[in-house]
Amino acid sequence: MTVLVLAGTIGAGKSSLTEMLAEELETQAFYESVHDNKVLPLFYENPQKYAFLLQIYFLNKRFDSIKRALSDNNNVLDRSIYEDSLLFHLNADLGRADETEVEVYDDLLKNMLEEIDSLSFKKRPDLLIHVKVSFDKMLERIKKRGRQFEQLEYDPSLYDYYKELNSRYDTWFEAFDICPKIQIDGDKYDFVENEQSKIQVLQQIKAKLKEIEGENN
Ligand SMILES: Nc1ncnc2c1ncn2[C@@H]1O[C@H](COP(=O)(O)OP(=O)(O)O)[C@@H](O)[C@H]1O
Ligand SMILES: Nc1nc2c(ncn2[C@H]2C[C@H](O)[C@@H](COP(=O)(O)O)O2)c(=O)[nH]1
């Protein structure tokens, strides 16, 4: 059983790489709830009002995906539950959640992570794959994808939100020690449109998985 989780800022390329990995490794892909997410557009319209609700929504959906993923053999998840806290605390720091909401959320997340530990013999993912992109690349990709409510034209204050989110990922990744990890340079490798880049990225990930397998034997 192999569990891979993707991590990275908005537009980094997590979903694209998830699809490629699932195909390459012949595993099932689990995607974050975006198109069917009723709260996401509300959050972008009024973050002050909906930051807490959105976070609970995502946490619930992620928990659901993890439960389904763990009952399966091999799988790839397009965003890790470990980034939830990063996203929520950024919003809390921006004054979009009060102290009680932060307390309730932190406690719920801790509880859920403990519950995941007890769900399966597989307690941690085999590998966390962080797709790192520069701030400029992040903006370029968000624009390329074109989700209306994520565009700077829709809300110019998103510029600062995105900038801060992207910069927090570096510290987050450095400190991450829950399972083996690898960083993919999403600026350097255009793995969506360039076949050679795609092959190189998949090779890096497969080499890391081999290295981990060697360490475990
Ligand atoms: N390495 C890459 N090279 C070129 N385009 C990319 C790359 N990664 C992602 N994209 C494009 O950027 C946009 C966002 O990618 P996506 O996979 O949806 O990101 P995420 O899931 O991290 O939010 C999509 O239009 C995708 O085609
Ligand atoms: N406030 C939060 N927003 C989140 C969280 N997880 C995802 N998102 C947002 C960010 C994007 O607009 C969209 C999809 O994310 P991608 O990175 O896959 O593009 O959902 C969260 O936990 N909190």
Any atom of ligand 1 within 6 Å of the Cβ of 193: yes
Q: Do the beta carbons of residue 23 and residue 189 sit within 8 Å? A: no
Percent of the chain with pLDDT over 70: 99
Q: How many domains is the chain partitioned into structurally? A: 1
ipTM of the complex: 0.97
> What's the rounded Cα separation, in Å, for the pair 22 and 75?
7
* Residue 92 · residue 40 · CB < 8 Å: no
Q: Are 79 and 32 in contact (CB under 8 A)?
A: yes
Residue where the block lists tokens 């009060």 = 98
The CATH number for 70's domain is 3.40.50.300
Domain that holds residue 76: 2-214
Query: Is position 212 annotated in a ligand binding site?
Result: no
- Ligand 2 neighbour 199 (Cβ under 6 A): no
Is 71's pLDDT higher than 80? no
How much is the average pLDDT of 42-68?
Answer: 95
Mean of all residue pLDDT scores within the chain? 94
Tell me the two tokens of residue 212.
Answer: 């981990």
Asked if residue 169 lies in contact with residue 116, where contact means CB atoms within 8 angstroms, the answer is no
